[in-house]
Amino acid sequence: MNAAAKNSPRTGSLPASLAYAEAFVAESEPSRVARRKASGLGLASISGGVAAALTLLTKTLSAKAVVEIGTGTGVSGLALFAGMVADGVLTSIDSESENQAAAREAFSEAAVPSRRIRLIAGQALNVLPKLSDGAYDVVFVNGDPLEYVEYVAQAERLLRPGGLLLLHHALWEGKVADEQNSDDEPLIVREALEAVQDSGLFTAALLPVGDGLLVAVRD
Binding residues for ligand SAM (CB under 6 A): 43-46, 70-76, 93-96, 99, 123-124, 142-144, 147
Q: How many helices (H) and strands (E) does the chain have?
A: 9, 7
* Gap between the Cα atoms of 191 and 150, Å rounded: 10
Which contiguous run of DSSP H or E holds residue 198?
A: helix 184-199
Q: Which is nearer to ligand SAM, 185 or 204 (CB)?
A: 185
CA dihedral 78, 26, 19, 204 (to 10 degrees): 40
Least distance (Å) from ligand SAM to the CB of residue 4? 38
* Gap between the Cα atoms of 58 and 78, Å rounded: 12
Pairing state of beta strands 89-94 and 202-207? unpaired
Q: Which is nearer to ligand SAM, 12 or 129 (CB)?
A: 129
Least distance (Å) from ligand SAM to the CB of residue 113? 20
Q: Which of 196, 80, 194, 219 is nearest to 142 (CA)?
A: 80
Least distance (Å) from ligand SAM to the CB of residue 160? 22
Least distance (Å) from ligand SAM to the CB of residue 183? 17
Q: Which is nearer to ligand SAM, 100 or 137 (CB)?
A: 100
| Count of C-beta atoms within a 10 Å radius of residue 34 | 26
Least distance (Å) from ligand SAM to the CB of residue 132? 19
Q: Which is nearer to ligand SAM, 69 or 216 (CB)?
A: 69
Q: Which is nearer to ligand SAM, 8 or 123 (CB)?
A: 123
> Closest-CB residue for ligand SAM?
72
